Amino acid sequence: MAAKFKPNTPIWARWKGGPYFAGTIQSCTSNKQSCRIAFADGYSLAVPWKDILLESPDIKC
């Protein structure tokens, strides 16, 4: 079975419980519950799988 998320995959991740931002997976933890995400602005953050999307989130204006 393939891993849910793999390094270098473009994703959308929730930033500290706030909005989603585009980023790229750098690595995932060995227990496969979170991934370190590199965001376009240069920041990186460990994000739980529940806060990572493979597609752009629905944004309602």
The whole-angstrom separation of Cα 45 and Cα 2 is: 23
pLDDT at 61 over 70: no
Task: Please report the pLDDT score of residue 3 as a whole number.
Answer: 58
Q: DSSP code of 48? A: E
Q: Which two tokens stand for residue 5?
A: 């998320």
- Give the pLDDT of residue 2: 44
Which pLDDT belongs to residue 60? 55
AA letter at 2: A
Residues 23 and 7 sit within 8 Å (Cβ to Cβ): no
Which residue ranges form the domains of the chain, and what is each CATH number? 10-53 (2.30.30.140)
